Chains A and B, each alone.
Chain A
Amino acid sequence: MKKNLRWKIILVLGVIALSVFLAYPPSTKIRYGLDLEGGMHLVLQVVTDDAINNETNQEILRLQDQMKRKDISYDTIVKSDERIGRISLQGFDPEKERDVRDLLDEYFGEWDASFSGNNAIMTMKANAATYFRDQAVKQSIETIRGRVDELGLSEIPIQRQGGLQGERIIVELPGIEDPERVKNILKTTARLEWRLVEAGPAATQEALLTEYDGKVPEAMEILPGDQRRNLGGNYYLVNQVSIVSGEDLRDARRSQDEWNNPAVSFRLSPEAGRRFYKFTSDNLGRLLSVVLDNKVITAATIEDRISDTGIIRGNFTVEAVEDLTVALRAGALPASIKYLEERTIGPSLGADSIRKGLTSIIIALILILIFMVVYYRLAGVNAVSALILNILILAGALAYFKAHLTLPGIAGIILTIGMAVDANVLVFERIREELAQGKSILSSIASGFSRAFKTILDANVTTIIAAVFLFQFGTGPIRGFAITLIIGITASMFTAVFVSRLIFDVTLTKKKKREKLSI
């Protein structure tokens, strides 16, 4: 046997061994996608405008504080309604314009300021806005991961869709019994805010505004009361700025109030505690509301100074407290999220798809086997061996890349079975042509392979181009299809050309004087 041939055999055996090693046993090595395993696929959008608004609110507080320290008087500092990420500073002392400019330069570097008379408009710089949006998405992913962990699910793929600018998150949860509850826990922004109540509660929005000539005053907004919380009225007029918020939260636990009703106990960061203490000291006797996701859940008179610990009561059920603390502990979402897409596949449908998919693969294989052997005789056996090796490599590659096998992925395998033999067909037809021209068996095989190779390459590259674009734009299951097709077609160039050739070489050298090629 030629030395060259021996190395080739070793290479092929090595590939077989490696594929088997990677993919065996398939039940543990090859992972199923959600459409086969059953579970819930969620696409969420982070409303990053919320993050910008939060940041703006924080900055307004900081600016108010700085203006006081520098002893600059002003009329109002409010969030502008025209555009997101804009603060309007109105009516500052004109003689101190220099001081205002210095203050903004020194402490508010992330804002562009434009002055007109004794007013200034501050706009968040574009790169700062991009940064806050990006952070919001990153934090959301962390928060969602935290919540999923709290629910006792581990190793859940949570990925960002659309690259660095992407504001979408894909969560794939296997085997969920109560999708609605999980969805609600993930979605709860759990954005807690403590805000000063300016008026209310009142039954209608109009009633709230009687003192204000029917218009919502600057720096205030109307928030609805949470219907389930049994409050004194439906609406509150509250300050736009939150004093402390969920971001300042260090811990939240299930607890009870003095009448043994379920409540949530919380602890704030030291810095927020100091802020809260100062605020409550200054506003004793006024009404303070706790706002959860833009709904007032409770409002109470500030009777005492509060620093970093306290409880929230709100006519909660035990279950509501449980879900809320799970959400709060994993951290509030920095911005609200909304669902764009949700797909739940029951385990029975997945099991059914696996069964049907495998049946189709086996039947397809048998059909091809019969067809190839009838049409090409022993050469057909050669092609089918190459095909089986192709599937083996495909399985090994899927296991190695930890790609999830989906139902379209199975379709990709089946299609690969049909298309991978194409390379063999091209070669065999060429060999037949060469034989018909009266060439010897060995030289027919040699030129058959070499002449067909260029065609095989061109033809396969185009299929791979289509599959790559499919992978690029597709999601979940469709990507699974593109992956199996790409791997399968690529492997077919190795199996149908290199391995098939080798099989010819080995079988033909053994029986040297062969008169006829079985093709």
Chain B
Amino acid sequence: MQIFKKPNFKLMRYKFLAFGLSAVVIAVGIINIWVHKGLNYGVDFAGGTLVQIRFKSVFPIGELRQSLSDTGLGASKIQEVERGEREYIIRTMLPEEELDQELEAHVIMGNRVVDALKTEVDKTSQEKGLKDLNVIELDALIALLGETYPDKAEEAAGAIIDLRQSAEQKGIIEDFNQIEQSGIDNEIINDLKNRTFLGSMVIKRRETVGPQVGQELRRRTTQATVWALIGMLIYIGIRFKFAYGVAAILTLAHDVLITVGLFSLTSRELNLPVIAAILTIVGYSLNDTIVIFDRVRDNLKILRKLEFENILNSSINQTLSRTVITSSTTLLTVLALFIFGGEVINDFAFTMMIGVIIGTYSSIYMSCSLLLFWKKIFKPKKGMGR
């Protein structure tokens, strides 16, 4: 099979259209960021507490919001995980003037969220000294069961924890019937009913980042991106001509601007995995660009008589099927990650998807157009070849 038999698109003809389009998209992104007074930083960069909680039964988002605002936590951001109103990611917000507080202040906010959502049953059971079966660790459960059923403790405890962790339960057991169905002796279950309870919620994730870390992370991220770009500029400068390095770096800057801009249009928060995605896109887009530049370098030797613009055009065309195929395979895998990878990695996959598409487009349009402009503006005496 072949997508393009002998491609000969006059792609370079649309360079100004492409420039215009890119400029508009970048402008929209920048204006959007400006209107919202900066990027929507997540916990990693802005500091704060994030709690991911799963409830035993449906907890409508409206009630959740109400419970939080009743305890003075109305400013918290709530995000539903999967559908079904049972699992949420809650991010607490400190008032602006207290943002620079030490980590402890953020931890306390997190504790308040958890306390606000606990039911009375949870609290009274805990006061009675009952253990929460939805929280207890394997070793502790073995010890607990060991007091009454030393021979079966290990097996039963293992079965209960496995049940809790299974794909169906997702970390929380709803009632004791579910334990009965997993084939545990009734006497053990009756014993458990007396000494334990099934808490109404389980904290699946809790992240608190202090203000210093966030600030430093922003600085280090910028540094890493800049150094990566410099590293690439040097590498391309050695392997190609300086002009190619500049064109490639400008293309990458274009990709990063568009990706960040488009990202800001969504309600997603900028966290570390997103930065990782952006840096990967930088590497990926460059990968594409280099393949084309490589062809340009070859063709400058072979097709000496052609106009530079035509050389660029045929280089793009010759590598077009490769560009499209590699983008497709990468996009397919990232798509798999986006759909099946779960919420923790979702922002990463989303950013990668934008990036792969933009990276493909830019390596065709931006990088080659920039080379052409370079030639027109600087008119290098030795030409564009090596």
Contact = CB atoms under 8 A, between A and B. Distances in A.
A466 B282 contact: yes
A368 interface: yes
B335 to A, nearest CB: 8
B230 to A, nearest CB: 10
Interface in B323-359: 325-326, 328-334, 336-337, 339-342, 344-345, 348-349, 352
A482 B352 CA distance: 15
Given A422-B326, A426-B322, A417 B220 contact: no
Contacts of A341: 103, 208-210, 213
Contacts of A352: 167, 170-171, 342
- Which of B169, B344, B352 is packed against the most chain A CB atoms within 10 Å? B344
A486 to B, nearest CB: 11
B193 interface: no
Interface residues of B, number: 82
Contacts of B71: none
Given A411-B341, A421-B329, A466-B232, A349 B334 contact: no
- Which of B107, B140, B164, B287 is packed against the most chain A CB atoms within 10 Å? B287
B130 interface: no
Size band of the A side of the interface? 35 or more
Given A463-B286, A465-B283, A429 B321 contact: yes
B205 A371 contact: no
Contacts of A346: 171, 202-205
B276 A461 contact: no
B137 A177 contact: yes
A462 B287 contact: yes
Contacts of B202: 346, 348
Interface in A37-90: 43, 45
A419 interface: yes
B206 A429 contact: no
Given A338-B102, A415-B352, A454-B294, A478 B273 contact: yes
Contacts of A415: 280, 330, 333-334, 352
Contacts of A481: 273, 276, 280
Interface in B275-289: 275-276, 279-280, 282-284, 286-288
A340 interface: yes
B326 A425 contact: yes
Contacts of B224: 469-470, 472-474
B348 A411 contact: yes
Secondary structure class of chain A's binding surface, majority of residues: helix
B329 A422 contact: yes
A478 B279 CA distance: 11
Nearest to A470: B279
- Which of B167, B294, B333 is packed against the most chain A CB atoms within 10 Å? B333
Given A408-B276, A411-B349, A469-B231, A422 B221 contact: no
A344 B207 contact: yes
Contacts of B345: 353, 356-357, 407-408, 410-411
B204 A419 contact: no
B291 A357 contact: no
Interface in B52-107: 52, 54, 102-104, 107
Contacts of A433: 318
A353 B290 CA distance: 35
A469 B165 contact: no
B253 to A, nearest CB: 14
Contacts of B287: 419, 422, 459-460, 462-463
B27 interface: no
B330 A344 contact: no
A342 interface: yes
A429 B352 CA distance: 25
A429 B239 CA distance: 23
Nearest to B212: A340
B283 A466 contact: yes
Nearest to B209: A341
B136 interface: yes
A179 to B, nearest CB: 8
A351 interface: yes
Interface string A470-499: 101111011001100100000000000000
A151 interface: no
B223 interface: yes
A343 B223 CA distance: 24
Interface stretch (A97-105, A196-204, A238-246, A359-367): A359-367
B203 A344 contact: yes
Contacts of B341: 356-357, 360, 410-411, 414
B252 to A, nearest CB: 10
Interface in A404-447: 407-408, 410-411, 414-415, 417-419, 421-422, 425-426, 429, 432-433
Contacts of A360: 336-337, 339-341
Interface in B345-381: 345, 348-349, 352
A414 B337 contact: yes
Contact of A470 (B1, B206, B276): B276
- Which of B167, B170, B227, B294 is packed against the most chain A CB atoms within 10 Å? B294
Nearest to A367: B332
Interface string B121-162: 000000000000001111010000000000000000000000
Nearest to A359: B340
Contacts of B348: 408, 411
B203 to A, nearest CB: 6
Nearest to A357: B341
A463 B104 CA distance: 39
A177 B136 CA distance: 7
- Which of B164, B172, B334, B345 is packed against the most chain A CB atoms within 10 Å? B345
B290 A459 contact: yes
Contacts of A179: 206
Contact of B333 (A376, A414, A477, A478): A414
A458 interface: yes
Contacts of B102: 338
B24 interface: no
Given A339-B210, A469-B231, A478-B276, A418 B329 contact: yes
B330 A419 contact: yes
B14 interface: no
B306 interface: no
B333 A455 contact: no
A35 interface: yes
B235 A461 contact: yes
- Which of B318, B340, B348 is packed against the most chain A CB atoms within 10 Å? B340
A467 interface: yes
A158 interface: no
Nearest to B167: A355
A42 to B, nearest CB: 10
B228 interface: yes
A192 to B, nearest CB: 23
Given A346-B171, A425-B329, A473-B223, A466 B337 contact: no
B366 to A, nearest CB: 16
B103 A368 contact: no
A342 B332 CA distance: 35
B103 A418 contact: no
A375 B2 CA distance: 7
List of 3 A-B pairs having minimum Cβ-Cβ separation, nearest first: A348-B171, A466-B283, A418-B333
Interface of B: 1-2, 52, 54, 102-104, 107, 135-138, 140, 164-165, 167, 169-172, 202-210, 212-213, 220-221, 223-225, 227-228, 231-232, 235-236, 239, 272-273, 275-276, 279-280, 282-284, 286-288, 290-291, 294, 318-319, 321-322, 325-326, 328-334, 336-337, 339-342, 344-345, 348-349, 352
8 contacts: A341-B210, A344-B207, A346-B205, A351-B171, A418-B333, A422-B287, A455-B294, A459-B287
Given A408-B345, A463-B284, A473-B223, 12 more contacts: A352-B342, A356-B342, A364-B333, A407-B345, A415-B330, A422-B330, A429-B319, A462-B283, A464-B283, A469-B225, A469-B279, A481-B276
